[in-house]
Amino acid sequence: MALATRTDRRPSIARTFWGSTVGKKTVMAATGLIMIAYLAVHALGNAKIFFGAGDFNDYGHWLRVMGAPVLHREWGLWTARVVLSASVILHGVSAYQLSRRDLKARATAYVHKRRRASYATRTMRWGGIILALFIVWHILDLTTGTVHPGFQEGHPYQNVVDTFSTWYGNVIYIVAMLALGLHIRHGFWSAAQTLGVGNATRDRVLKAVANVLAVLLTATFISVPVGVMTGVVS
């Protein structure tokens, strides 16, 4: 007459996810991957700047009409914006809550300090904060133009050249993109582990993909301000 030792009552899936460290990490992994996918498209779009103002502005226009004629003007864009905003918020809130929990779980530091984890791993939190601030600036600068003196609605090429003609624009952008590279380097591999894709044999491949992604995206993004600075784009 063994006694029952398990209960069948379980919280809902949403609660299980949000209530668990593993679940919250899954949310971060999924939203992180959505954002990486977006960044890949974004990077390709950015590259069009090297083909002249016309090409680049056409791309900017297409963003508003994509999905037509099925989708009404800007419906596609707004869908993307909603998905992205939700991703950023969920990613950020999860990161904030998990970080608080992690700091609490190791409230006392060792007297003897030593570091071992890779730079990318250790900079996830600060890198994340830098990126969050950057996104705000980036939208205010190139989408709404709020912090962009002389912003011209509907002329993205000019606006980009304009931004990267200032020293602070370049500094903010390049620093943020380096942070992005580091963030993706650990984040992509980490997401794979969280989603349970990683195993001993796949580990090297996943790490290689993470490195390639990080380098490609960072290089592509940084090529734009470099292009402006060197006069390739003007």
Partner 1 sequence: MTYTDYATGEPLVDTKAPEGPIAERWDRRRFEAKLVNPANRRKQTVIVVGTGLAGGAAGATLAEQGYHVVQFCYQDSPRRAHSIAAQGGINAAKNYRNDGDSIHRLFYDTVKGGDFRARESNVHRLAQVSVEIIDQCVAQGVPFAREYGGLLDTRSFGGVQVSRTFYARGQTGQQLLLGAYQALSRQVAAGNIELHPRTEMLDLVVVDGKARGIVARDLITGRIDTYFADAVVLASGGYGNVFYLSTNAKNSNATAAWRAHRRGAHFANPCFTQIHPTCIPRSGDHQSKLTLMSESLRNDGRIWVPRAQGDTRPPAEIPEDERDYYLERIYPSFGNLVPRDIASRAAKNVCDEGRGVGPGGQGVYLDFADAIARLGRKAVEAKYGNLFDMYERITAENPYEVPMRIYPAIHYTMGGLWVDYDLQTTVPGLFAVGEANFSDHGANRLGASALMQGLADGYFVLPSTINDYLARHPHRDEVDASHPAAVAAVAETTGRLERLLAVDGDRTPDSFHKEIGELMWEYCGMARTEEGLRKALETIPQIREEFWRRIKVPGTGEEFNQSLEKANRVVDYLELAELMCLDALHRSESCGGHFREESQTEGGEAARKDEEFSYAAAWEFTGTGDAPVLHKEDLVFEYVHPTQRSYA
Partner 2 sequence: MRLTLRVWRQKNTDAPGAMATYEVDGISKDMSFLEMLDTLNEKLILEGEDPVAFDHDCREGICGACSMVINGDAHGPERTTTCQLHMRSFADGDTIDVEPWRATAFPVVRDLVVDRSAFDRIIGAGGYISVPTGAAPEAHATPVPKADADYAFEHAECIGCGACVAACPNGSAMLFTSAKINHLNVLPQGAPERESRVLDMVATMDAEGFGGCTLTGECATACPKGIPLPSIAAMNKEWLRATRKAGKR
For partner 1, the binding residues (CB under 8 A) are 1-5
The nearer residue to partner 2, 190 or 218, going by C-beta atoms, is 190
Q: Are 214 and 184 in contact (CB under 8 A)?
A: yes
Q: Which does 17 bind (CB under 5 to 8 A by kind): partner 2, partner 1, none?
A: partner 2
Which segment (49-57, 75-83, 107-115, 209-217) binds partner 2 by CB under 8 A?
107-115
Contact (CB, 8 A) for 109 and 103: no
Q: In the range 135-194, which residues lie near partner 2 by CB under 8 A?
A: 186, 189-190, 192-194
Q: Nearest 5 degrees, angle CA 94-CA 11-CA 84?
A: 30
Contact of residue 203 among partner 1, partner 2, none (CB under 5-8 Å per partner type): partner 2
d(CA 159, CA 92): 28
CB 31 within 8 A of CB 91: yes
Nearest by Cα to 217 from 32, 9, 12: 32
Regarding 9 and contact with partner 2 (CB under 8 A), the answer is no
Written as six digits, the tokens of 153 are 């609605």
Q: How far apart are CA 223 and CA 85, in angstroms?
A: 26
Residue 122 as a binder of partner 2 (CB under 8 A): the answer is yes
Least Å from the CB of residue 136 to partner 2? 24
Sole binder of partner 2 in the list 17, 38, 96, 137 (CB under 8 A):
17
In this structure, what token pair is assigned to residue 81?
A: 């914006």
| 164 vs 189, beta carbon nearer partner 2 | 189
Region from 111-119, 169-177, 210-218, 221-229 binding partner 2, contact rule CB under 8 A: 111-119
Among positions 9, 69, 70, 116, the unique one binding partner 2 when judged by CB under 8 A: 116
Q: Of partner 2, partner 1, none, which one does residue 171 interact with (CB within 5 to 8 Å by kind)?
A: none
By beta-carbon proximity to partner 2, the closer residue of 2 and 70 is: 2
Name, in order, each residue with C-beta under 8 angstroms of 104's C-beta and a sequence gap of 6 or more. Answer: none
**Residue 150 corresponds to which tokens in the numbers above?**
């002389």
Task: State the amino acid at position 114 in one-letter form.
Answer: R
Stretch binding partner 2 (CB under 8 A), from 83-91, 96-104, 153-161, 221-229: 96-104
Question: Of 9, 69, 70, 111, which lies in the binding site for partner 2, with binding defined by CB under 8 A?
Answer: 111
Give the burial class of 17: count Cβ atoms within 10 A of its Cβ; 0-12 exposed, 13-18 middle, 19 or more buried: middle
d(CA 154, CA 55): 13
List of residues contacting partner 2 (CB under 8 A): 2, 5-6, 10, 13, 16-17, 19-26, 98, 101-114, 116-117, 121-122, 124, 186, 189-190, 192-200, 203
